[in-house]
Structure formats: structure tokens, C-alpha cells
A and B are shown apart, each in its own frame.
Chain A
Amino acid sequence: MDHYEMKLTLKVWRQANNKSKGRFETFQVDGISSEMSFLEMIDILNERLVVEGQDPIAFDHDCREGICGSCAMHINGRPHGPWHATTTCQLHMRAFKDGDTIVVEPWRANGFPIIKDLVTDRSAFDRIIQAGGFISVNTGNAVDGNALPINKDNADASFAAAACISCGACVAACKNASASLFLSAKISHLGLLPQGQPERHKRVISMVAQMDKEGFGSCTFTGACEAVCPKEIAITNISRMHKDYLAAGLSADN
């Protein structure tokens, strides 16, 4: 596709802090290249705002290569924008046309309180991981790869689940603001491997309890999370999590 430049209208959510009431602010941006990433487009706007002495738009970003999960933006009603399986940093401006209006909002969920503008506090995910998203083993030298045989299908499914970058798009898209896809990705990642077995039941109980505590909803299998996940985590993982929870709950000693 040929390179082209565009003029855009941006409606961005501005909110000074968690306590203040936010509002949309409209900006006109000129000379945006179709080859820029969405974040570079915001960078250009922010440089202008700094020069003009205005407060630049606060947004999360880190690796800018689609693997860190920082760049949380709800663009035109869809987490990470219009492209399938793409993070905001990998969304390029050729996804838009000259003259388009783009609405940018932060993730909306009680579990992700707004810090400023588009930046939300996603530490709830860290606490969910701390509740059980790990294996307890003595560290030391790596064991020989052949010492622990792993079924290839399980290894692949575990790896696919491990691709979750904890960006929170699943929560952002879910009508219940449920973190089930994130949780289930972590549970499948460990639960499908032999190393994850000893704590499999304890893990699912602790992580689900933490999810409830953090204020995320339950899964009603609408499939919105799977549709917007930049890493294409399968919704079947949620059913696997439910199965683990059922087994854990029924076999618990007390």
C-alpha cells in the first residue's frame, strides 16, 4: 500500500487523577504518516502539547514491539484498536483514513482504576499472579531437557497460553469486566505442564479468590475477550480453569 499522510481529529479521555472527573478533549493532528504506529502519532501530538506549554497525554508504553502489554488504549470502542491480534504499539496509522475521528479511552473496569488520562493501575493483575501464578521449586542449575518428558500437545497449548502479556484487553472488552481470560491463561500455562501439577488445585482456588477480591466479574462466555486478545488466547482456557476449580473445590479436604 502506498504511503499517505492524513489529518485526524482525536477525542482523548483526559483525567487529572483518580479523584477528579474526566472529560474528552478534542485535538486536530496534521501530517500523520500512514507508516507511523499509533503511539508515534500520540508522541507527535504530545511534543506539540509540550511546546505549547500544555499537559501532554499520559499513556502507558514500554517495549513498543507488542510483547510487554503496556500500551492499553480503547480505540474507537475496541481494545488496542481495529486490527485483529495487534497491540496498540503495533497498530499502524494505515488502519485509518484521512479525515477520520478517533476516540481514545482508557480501560474501563473497577479493577483498573485510572491514574491519569489513559493510564490505569493494573497492579491487580500482579496481585492475582502473586496469589498463585507460580511454581514452588528449588532453583539451581537447569535440569536436562530430556529428564522430564512432556506431551507435545500440552507443551504447545501451554506455550500458547503463556503468550498472554497481561495487557488487560480481555477485562476491557468483557461486559462483566471479568479477568477470566487472563487468569485462565496463567492457569493453563502452568497446569498443562508437569511442573505445575503439585500446586494445580491450590493455584486455581487462590487466583480465583484474588480475582473476586480485586473486583473483576465472572465469565458469561460471550467471547469478546478472545476476539480482542492481541495474543489470541483461546476462550477454551476459561473452561479449563472452571474444570480445575470444580476439581479443586470438590476434592478439597475441608
Chain B
Amino acid sequence: MKWSQFFTSAVGRKFVMALTGIFLVTFLIVHVGLNSCIFADWVDTTDNGEMFNKAAHFMGSTIITRILEAVLFIGFIIHIIQGYVIEAKNRARRGQGYNIELGSRGSTWMSRSMALLGTLIFMFLILHISKFWWASRVSQDLAQVSYDGGRTEMHNLFLRMYDVFQNPVLVIIYIISVIVLGFHLWHGFHSAFRSMGVHNKKYLSLLKGLGYGFTIIVCVMFILMPVSMYLDWVNPN
């Protein structure tokens, strides 16, 4: 079987979806972990975002993380394009629909709505990138901050986060988007492993538990970030 046949069959396309999905899950671990550094200010009010800014600076100024960043973008692009290709192909498989649909009698709403959820996440991603990634990597219109007695100077991304999350509309958009991501992960996490061929019941229940736990932790942490800044639990002063 040629690679082209392997990756374009109904099963092979799912391998691509699953592998990129699992890769994006690992990215979320890094993202949520790194951003949780903002909570240092919650514990120690003199931190004022220093730990987070240093972590963000490390990610932006180290060659390996920059390469990984490029790989991440490729992962996103493949996942999104392949997702739409699969959705379009699958939708075309039933020319005429039913008068009465099966609906939720055999499956969850989120498992049937991965493309819709993915589209919402994609839209959020554009907003999210324009607010933070673009500002720190491309337009560079961030305030500078210096640490260690003026020896190190870097972008004050923490201040940008705080400013952005003073807008209640954006805070609400962020909360909703994280919940949407949660729905996507709730099905996507275990489904990715099933697509890759995990059929043993003991691993499936383990992966489901892991996936649900992971989803809850990631969502709670991500929701806490805008909320804690909006409510001033975490602030730059």
C-alpha cells in the first residue's frame, strides 16, 4: 500500500487527525502550565507577573522553542484542513437526510459536533493569536519591563494580559471559548486513541478517565486566568 493510499483512505485520514490531535493536546499541557505562572502573583503579591514574563521570554527567545512553535503551527494547519476534508467527505455520504433524526439516542452532541466546535476554536484562535502572539512576536508593541536590577529586559506580556482581561466582553468570549475547547477535548481525547487502534477495554477506560480529568483541569485553569485578572486577584501591582 502506497503512502498516498494509506493517508487518504477513510481510516488513514483519521490517523492524521488523531496524531495531530494528540500533538495539540501535548501543546495544551505546555501552554496551560506556562501560563499558570501568572498565579505566582496570587500567592506572592510582589511577583507582579515576573515569573510569567520570564517564562514567556524563555519561550520566545530560545531557538528550540521557536522551532517547536513552527511545528505547532504546522500541526494546527494539518489538523484544521484535514478536519474540514473529513467533515466535507462525511457530510456528502448521505445525500438525503432523515425526516426524524436519531439525534442523541446513540451518541453525545459533542461527538457529532466536532467540526462545529473546531470551527469555533479556530475563530477563537485567530482572536487569541492577534491579541498575544502577534503582539509579542511580530508587531512587538508591548511595554518593556526589566528584572534582576535592570540586568534583563523583556516584553511585559503579563501587563498585556491584564489589560486585555479588563474588558468584560473579551473575558466572556474567553470563558465560552475555553468551554467549547473542553467539549472538543471531551470527545477528541479518547477518540484520538481509539482512531489509532486502542481497543482494549482497560486502556480505553484509563484513557477516558485521563481525558476527562485533563479536560477539566485545563479548562478550569484557562478560565481562571481571565477571571482572576478581571477580578484583580492577579495584577501587575
Residues of A within 8 A of B (CB): 11, 13, 24, 74, 76-79, 103, 105, 108-111, 173, 175-178, 180, 205, 208-209, 211-212, 215-228, 236-246, 248-249, 252, 254
**A205 vs B5: C-alpha distance when bound (angstroms):** 10
Asked, given contacts A224-B102, A227-B105, A245-B11, whether A252 binds B1 with beta carbons under 8 Å apart, the answer is yes
Can you list 15 A-B pairs, Cβ within 8 angstroms, ordered by A? A77-B103, A78-B105, A108-B94, A108-B95, A110-B94, A175-B90, A175-B94, A176-B91, A217-B10, A218-B11, A238-B194, A239-B195, A242-B14, A242-B196, A245-B197
Which 5 A-B residue pairings sit nearest by Cβ, starting from the closest?
A243-B197, A227-B106, A77-B100, A222-B107, A239-B199
Which chain A residue shows the least CB distance to B114?
Answer: A220
Establish whether residues B93 and A254, one from each chain, have CB atoms under 8 Å apart when the complex forms. no
Which chain B residue shows the least CB distance to A75?
Answer: B100
Chain B residues near A240 (CB-CB < 8 A): 197, 199
Chain B residues near A249 (CB-CB < 8 A): 1, 6, 12
Asked, given contacts A175-B112, A212-B9, A236-B204, whether A243 binds B1 with beta carbons under 8 Å apart, the answer is no
B150 to chain A, nearest CB (A): 55
B108 at interface by CB-CB < 8 Å: yes
B235 at interface by CB-CB < 8 Å: no
Asked, given contacts A103-B100, A108-B96, whether A221 binds B191 with beta carbons under 8 Å apart, the answer is yes
**A3 vs B133: C-alpha distance when bound (angstroms):** 70
Chain B residues near A225 (CB-CB < 8 A): 106
Establish whether residues A77 and B101, one from each chain, have CB atoms under 8 Å apart when the complex forms. yes
**A243 vs B18: C-alpha distance when bound (angstroms):** 13
Asked, given contacts A178-B10, A249-B1, whether A217 binds B89 with beta carbons under 8 Å apart, the answer is yes
Chain A residues near B102 (CB-CB < 8 A): 77-79, 173, 224, 228
A-B contact count (CB 8 A): 150
Chain B residues near A246 (CB-CB < 8 A): 15, 196-197
Most chain-A CB neighbours within 10 Å: which of B103, B112, B195, B199? B199
* Selected contact of B14 from candidates A218, A222, A226, CB within 8 Å: A218
Chain A residues near B106 (CB-CB < 8 A): 173, 222-228
B83 to chain A, nearest CB (A): 10
Residues of B within 8 A of A (CB): 1-2, 5-6, 9-15, 86, 89-103, 105-108, 111-112, 114, 187, 190-191, 194-201, 204
Chain B residues near A13 (CB-CB < 8 A): 99
Chain A residues near B14 (CB-CB < 8 A): 218-220, 242
* Selected contact of B99 from candidates A24, A177, A237, A238, CB within 8 Å: A24
* Selected contact of A217 from candidates B90, B98, B114, B197, CB within 8 Å: B90
Asked, given contacts A103-B100, A105-B99, A252-B1, whether A220 binds B111 with beta carbons under 8 Å apart, the answer is yes
Chain A residues near B99 (CB-CB < 8 A): 11, 13, 24, 77, 103, 105
**A238 vs B112: C-alpha distance when bound (angstroms):** 17
B107 to chain A, nearest CB (A): 4
**A238 vs B14: C-alpha distance when bound (angstroms):** 12
Chain B residues near A239 (CB-CB < 8 A): 194-195, 197-199, 204
Which chain B residue shows the least CB distance to A188?
Answer: B199
Establish whether residues A223 and B11, one from each chain, have CB atoms under 8 Å apart when the complex forms. no
Give me 8 other A-B pairs in contact (C-beta within 8 A), A217-B10, A252-B1 excluded: A77-B100, A110-B93, A217-B90, A219-B11, A223-B108, A238-B199, A239-B195, A242-B15
A70 to chain B, nearest CB (A): 20
**A204 vs B55: C-alpha distance when bound (angstroms):** 48
B114 to chain A, nearest CB (A): 7
**A237 vs B201: C-alpha distance when bound (angstroms):** 11
**A250 vs B108: C-alpha distance when bound (angstroms):** 33
B78 to chain A, nearest CB (A): 16
Chain A residues near B196 (CB-CB < 8 A): 242-243, 246
**A177 vs B94: C-alpha distance when bound (angstroms):** 6
**A212 vs B10: C-alpha distance when bound (angstroms):** 6
A49 to chain B, nearest CB (A): 21
B56 to chain A, nearest CB (A): 36
**A208 vs B9: C-alpha distance when bound (angstroms):** 7
Chain B residues near A221 (CB-CB < 8 A): 111, 187, 190-191, 194-195
Which chain A residue shows the least CB distance to B200?
Answer: A236
Asked, given contacts A24-B99, A77-B101, A105-B99, whether A242 binds B93 with beta carbons under 8 Å apart, the answer is no
Chain B residues near A108 (CB-CB < 8 A): 94-98
Which chain B residue shows the least CB distance to A79?
Answer: B102
Chain A residues near B101 (CB-CB < 8 A): 77
Which chain B residue shows the least CB distance to A13?
Answer: B99
